[in-house]
């Protein structure tokens, strides 16, 4: 997808941009509402605007309303710290198609973007929600993992880590990248937590054909066991 990220938090914008680009999206970034509005109404071929409500110069709600007033029907995914029913209604009425409440994990953003992309697709075709490596199968829609056809009970954090590794099979992910995938941005956590959860995953997936490989000094990679 061709995305516009309107976000003033530099750390969050940088992390989201990196993760989205790793998922093969093309990402434009606007650090404030006015720039975001200019890009949203001026850039051709945008598939979605990922729009923060709490911008420094103008509300994301106002940005969404002006985008719609300009006749632009690009999908809008709202990022908000407000989680009441009324807040959601106001955001949707302003023109948003969906929303994510902060703090969030990257896998939720990715899933909602996939849902928005499916809605935009012509005809009944749907993306396959399953990721697989050897005997490991992760079903994103059902939030279920199986090994050799048998269910494996994973915690939400373990599920998110496995999803990240499956999406980048054969590639090394650093501990920082895995942190960005599996932990909300507002949560203070150290890279050592990744090591602990990788250990939990290895234990639960021990009978699988795939294996989580340690790349010393770098991070982890999910292989299919074909190299022995």
Q: What is the pLDDT at residue 88?
A: 73
- The answer to whether 99 touches 78, Cβ cutoff 8 Å, is yes
Q: How far is CA 134 from CA 5, 126, 170, 207, in A?
A: 35, 23, 12, 11
pLDDT at 65 over 90: yes
Task: Note whether 2-120 and 130-223 share their fold.
Answer: no
The separation between the first and the last C-alpha atoms of the chain, rounded to the nearest angstrom, is 37
Least confident of 76-80, 147-151, 198-202, 208-212: 208-212
pLDDT at site 4: 93
Is the predicted pLDDT of residue 228 greater than 50, yes or no?
A: no
pLDDT tens track for 110-156: 988 988 887 765 444 445 678 888 889 988 767 789 988 889 998 87
> Are 30 and 4 spatial neighbours (Cβ–Cβ below 8 Å)?
yes
> What is the spatial distance between Cα 26 and Cα 127, in angstroms, rounded to a whole number?
19
To the question of domain 130-223 being in CATH 1.10.10.10, the answer is: yes
pLDDT in the model for residue 193: 83
**Looking at residues 167-179, what average pLDDT do you find?**
83
- If you average pLDDT over residues 11-39, what whole number do you get? 90
Which residue ranges make up each domain of the chain?
A: 2-120, 130-223
CATH superfamily membership of 2-120: Response regulator (3.40.50.2300)
């Amino acid at each position: 997808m061709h995305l516009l990220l309107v976000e003033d938090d530099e750390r969050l914008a940088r992390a989201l941009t990196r993760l989205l680009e790793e998922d093969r999206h093309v990402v434009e970034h606007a650090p404030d509402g006015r720039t975001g509005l200019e890009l949203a109404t001026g850039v051709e071929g945008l598939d979605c605007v990922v729009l923060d409500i709490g911008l420094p110069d103008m509300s994301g709600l106002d940005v969404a309303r002006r985008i719609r007033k300009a006749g632009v029907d690009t999908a809008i995914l709202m990022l908000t710290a407000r989680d009441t029913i009324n807040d959601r209604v106001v955001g949707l009425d302003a023109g948003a198609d969906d929303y994510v409440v902060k703090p969030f994990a990257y896998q939720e953003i990715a899933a909602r973007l996939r849902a928005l992309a499916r809605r935009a697709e012509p005809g009944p075709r749907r993306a396959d929600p399953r990721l697989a490596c050897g005997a490991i199968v992760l079903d994103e829609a059902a939030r279920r993992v199986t090994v050799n056809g048998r269910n494996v009970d994973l915690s939400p954090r373990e599920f998110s880590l496995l999803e990240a590794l499956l999406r980048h099979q054969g590639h090394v992910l650093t501990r920082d990248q895995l942190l960005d995938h599996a932990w909300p941005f507002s949560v203070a956590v150290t890279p050592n937590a990744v090591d602990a959860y990788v250990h939990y995953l290895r234990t639960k997936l021990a009978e699988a054909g795939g294996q989580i490989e340690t790349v010393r000094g770098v991070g982890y990679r999910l292989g299919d066991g074909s190299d022995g």
